[in-house]
Structure 1
Amino acid sequence: MDIDKVFKALADPGRRRLLDLLHQESGQTLTALCEHMDMTRQAVTQHLHQLEEANLVAIIWQGREKLHYLNAVPLHEIYARWIEKFEHSRLGALQDLKMKLEGEDNEKT
């Protein structure tokens, strides 16, 4: 995975909007996606191409229709590398707090 391409793709609000639309309903045509975007068909096509280059969108041809599907794997890889490890200590602190609070409640009863 080229993580730089993923971050570059996510940097644009229009591309993030396309990913949101595909998250709501995966397998949409270009025409269906264009209905929800405030840009030209050509601009949507260019954004989809960048998302495909970043492996965030997968294309499947169904007859003459080109369907676009969200591929969340690169997002998960970013989460695992950049977010999860920072979250771990917070979750541990919350678990410790929960155990302390439950321990205090058990001692009172």
Structure 2
Amino acid sequence: MTELPLRNTVFEKIKTAGSLTDEELVRSLSKSGMVLAEDKFNKILLDLEIMGLIKVSWLTKDTRRIEVSVIEEEEDQYEQQNKEMMEKDYEASFPGLEES
């Protein structure tokens, strides 16, 4: 197997769970028939973390928590101005509803 499908499979498991420990992830992968060497497993986690897809933090000395990164999308300033202008135009299209 190439590394890309492995990485995708591992990410899908994490995404489905939302958050899990490294031990839970290894068990889940084993149930699916994927047994990874520890160095390969760590490399995949590192790659996913570098790509910004997951966050790995230590819970205890031997246990890591793995969770999907929440990516906040920045709204483009142009899009924000456009949206505000469209809202103003929409409100202005009702001439008889001015505040008293």
TM-score category by the smaller chain? 0.5 to 0.7
**One of 8, 19, 30 as aligned partner of 2:11:** 19
The RMSD of aligned alpha carbons is 2.5
Q: For 1:11-50, what aligned pairs fall within 5 Å after superposition?
A: 12-35=4-27, 36=29, 37-50=34-47
Q: Give SS of 2:48's match.
A: helix
Please list every run of 5 or more consecutive structure 2 residues that lacks an aligned counterpart in the other structure: 75-100
- How many residue pairs are counted as aligned between the two chains? 66
- Which of the two has higher C-alpha Rg? 2
Runs of 4+ with >4 A deviation: none
- Alpha-carbon distance in structure 1 between the residues aligned to 2:64 and 2:55: 10
- The structural deviation recorded for 1:72 is 4.9
Contact residue 30 and residue 45 of structure 1 kept, 8 A:
no
Q: What's the TM-score once normalised by structure 2's chain length? A: 0.54
TM-score (norm 1): 0.50
CA distance in 2 between counterparts of 1:46 and 1:28 reads 18
**What is the one-letter code of the residue matched to 1:22?**
I
Q: Identity of counterpart residues, as a percentage? A: 17
Q: Which runs of 5+ in 1 are unaligned?
A: 1-10, 78-109
Q: CA deviation at 1:73?
A: 2.2
| Counterpart residue type for residue 24 of structure 1 | T
Secondary structure of residue in 2 paired with 1:28:
strand
1:71 aligned to which of 69, 72, 93: 69
CA shift for structure 1 position 71: 1.6
